[in-house]
Amino acid sequence: MTNHKAAYDLLAESLTKQGLDVEAIKTALKAQRIETPSWGYANSGTRFKAFPWPGAAVTTRQKLDDAAMVHKMTGIAPSVALHIPWDRPEDDDYEGMRQYAEAQGITIGAINPNVFQDEAYRLGSLGNPDPGIQEKALDHLLECCQIMSKVNSDILSLWFADGTNYAGQDSLRDRKRRFEAGLRMVYERLPSNSRMLIEYKFFEPAFYSTDIPDWGTAYAWSLKLGPQAQVLVDLGHHAQGVNIEQIVAFLLDEGRLGGFHFNNRKYADDDLIVGSVNPYELFLIYNELTTAAQSSDQTVSETAKNVAYMIDQSHNVEGKLAPMILSVLNCQEAYAKSLLTPRAKLARAQAAGEVLAAHQLLTEAYRADVRPLLAQVREEIGAPADPIAAYWASGYEEKIRRERGVTATSGGYQ
Ligand code: RM4
Ligand code: MN
Ligand code: MN
C-alpha cells in the first residue's frame, strides 16, 4: 500500500456520496492523452539569449527518447509532435524515425511545418507578395503531407508567422486571398483520414497585422475548406482577458475545435508550464471539453472526443523533462476536476437562474483535492504515483547530462 491509499479511500467515499461514479472517473482518466512537443526537449530561449541546458536534446532521436521517458513517468503522453525541418532525419528516413519512436514505446503525432525560418520568408510564406516564395512555402507544406503518411501522423498542425509590420506594407485583402489559395492547395493534398489544424495568433513576429489573427479567421477558413480543417487553440495566442473557454465552447458546438497547444502565459506567447499561472482557466477549458464529450449531441461529443491535446512549450530556465512531466500532470489534474462537476445539478441551477448556486457547484469541483485519485490512477496503469519524484530518482537526468553535455546555442530554438 502506498501512502496515498488512505487519502484515496476517503476521497472515493466522499465522491460516491456526492453521486459520482468513481470507477467511471478513473476510466476516463486512464484514457486521457497529452502529446508533447519535440522542440520542448531542445535548447530554446528568448530573443535575448538561449541559455543552454545540460543534457538538452539535440538530435531527433534524443528528443524521442525524452518524450518516451515523459510517457514512462506519466503513462498518458504516448505521442510526440514533430517540427519540420527541425526534426528532419539526416538520412531522410522517416519510416526509420517512426520505427525508432515505436521501439521506444511512443508514436509520432502532429507534423508542424516550419515556414518561418528561411531567409526567403522575411515578408511571409503563403502570404508573401512574391509568387516564387509562396510556391516554396507550398512545396514545404506539401512535403509535410507526405511525411505524415511516412510517420503515420493524422494531423497537420499549421502556424504561420505571416503578417505585416506597417500600415500600407502590403494589401490586406490580397494577403487573405493568397492564404486562401495556398491553404486550399494543401487541403486537397492532405492524406485521407487526416486533419489540418489551423492555429491563430494576433501578434508576433509581425505586429501590425497577422494573416491568421484570431479564431474567427481560422474558423471561417476551416468552413470554406471542408470537414478535414479545424481550429487549433494555443493558450498563449490571445489578448489579455479573452475568455478562451467560450471560444472552446463555440468551436466544439460547431464541430470545428481540432486541438490545443497547451501552455500558460502571463503577458504574451510566454510558453510557460500549462496551469502554472492560471490553473482555474485550464480547469474551465477542460470543463467545456468534458461537458461536450458527455453531450447527447453527437457532433459535439464526437468533436470533443477527437480533440488533439498537445503541449507547445519551451522551457528556458527550469530544465526540460521535469517541467514537461509537470505540464502533463497539470492537464491531468484539470481534467480530473472537470470530471467532478455535478452536471445534472448544475444544469438545474442554471435553468432556475440560481446564479450563485451554479457558480458554487462549479468552483467546488475546482477546489477538490484530486491528488490521491490521480496517484491511484497512475498506480493502476503502471505509472509511478509521484512522477516527478520518480523521474529524479530514475537517474535519467544524470545520464543525459553526462552523455549529451552542454550544446552551444544560437538563440531562438536549438
Ligand atoms: C508559435 C506557435 C507555433 C509554434 C512556434 C514555435 O508561436 O505557437 O505553434 O510551432 O511558436
Ligand atoms: Mn502553438
Ligand atoms: Mn506560440
Q: What average pLDDT values come out for the chain (414 residues) when binned by 10 residues?
A: 88 97 98 98 92 96 98 98 96 97 98 97 98 98 98 98 98 98 98 98 97 98 98 98 98 98 97 98 98 98 98 96 98 98 98 98 98 98 98 98 90 59
Q: Cα of 309 to ligand 2 centre, how many Å?
A: 12
| Distance in Å, CA 121 to ligand 2 centroid | 19
Rg (CA), the chain: 22
Task: Assess contact for 337 and 286: CB atoms under 8 A.
Answer: yes
Ligand 1 centroid from CA 275, angstroms = 18
pLDDT of residue 411: 59
C-alpha distances (whole Å) from 390 to each of 59, 71, 301, 343, 393 are 25, 12, 35, 35, 5
Helix (H) or strand (E) holding 103: helix 94-103
* 375 grid coordinates: 496517484
Is the CB–ligand 1 distance for residue 312 below 6 Å? yes
| Å from CA of 330 to ligand 1 middle | 21
**Ligand 1 contact, 234 CB (< 6 A):** yes
Give me the residues paired with residue 81 across strands: 37
With the most atoms of ligand 1 within 8 angstroms of its CB, the residue from 83, 312, 314, 315 to mutate is: 312
Residue from 87, 201, 316 whose mutation best tests the ligand 1 pocket (most atoms within 8 A of CB): 201
Check residue 273 and report its DSSP letter.
P
Asked whether the beta carbons of 112 and 155 are under 8 A apart, the reply is: no
Pocket lining: 271 vs ligand 1, CB cutoff 6 Å: no
Query: Does residue 159 line the site of ligand 1, with CB under 6 A?
Result: yes
User: Whose atoms come closest to the Cα of 161: which ligand?
Assistant: 1
Instruction: Return the pLDDT at 281.
Output: 98
Cβ of 87 below 6 Å from ligand 1: no
Q: How far apart are the CA of 292 and the centre of ligand 3, in A? A: 26
Which of 197, 261, 414 should be mutated for ligand 1, with most atoms under 8 A from CB?
261
Distance 395 CA to ligand 2 centre (A): 31
- What is the residue type of 182? G
Is residue 91 within 8 A of residue 84, CB to CB? The reply is no
Q: How many angstroms separate the alpha carbon of residue 403 from the centre of ligand 1? A: 29
What is the predicted pLDDT for the residue at 329?
98
Q: What is the DSSP letter of 191?
A: P
Q: What is the pLDDT of residue 408?
A: 82
Which ligand ends up closest to the CA of 233? 2
User: Which distant-in-sequence residues (6+ apart) come within 8 Å of 345 by Cβ?
Assistant: 361
What ligand 1 atom has the least distance to the C-alpha of 39? 6
| Rounded CA separation 26/72 (Å) | 19
**Closest by alpha carbon to 327, among 395, 381, 274, 252?**
274
8 Å CB contact between 239 and 225: no
Ligand 2 centroid to residue 271 C-alpha, Å:
9
